[in-house]
Amino acid sequence: MIEDLLQPRHLIVILGIAILFFGPQKLPELGKGLAQGIRSFKDSLKEVTSNTPAPPKD
């Protein structure tokens, strides 16, 4: 069920709806903002995992 969620046909429909809703001029700006958000999330996750002490070994 999960593997059928994002087939190419679904992605095309989602892209078409996004173009109709936001307009072609806004899409690059939205993509850039989304990419920056994902990058920030990954950096924060790396920072948290690098600051977490390793559990003591028995």
Q: If you write DSSP's letter for every residue of 5-38 in order, what string do you get?
A: TT-HHHHHHHHHHHHHHH-TTTHHHHHHHHHHHH
Query: What separation in angstroms does the CA of 1 have from each of 6, 13, 42, 56?
Result: 10, 19, 27, 40
Residues 7-57: tens digit of each pLDDT: 888 888 988 888 888 888 888 888 899 899 999 999 988 888 777 666 677
Asked whether residue 1 carries a pLDDT value surpassing 60, the answer given is no
For the beta carbon of residue 24, count every other beta carbon within 10 angstroms.
9
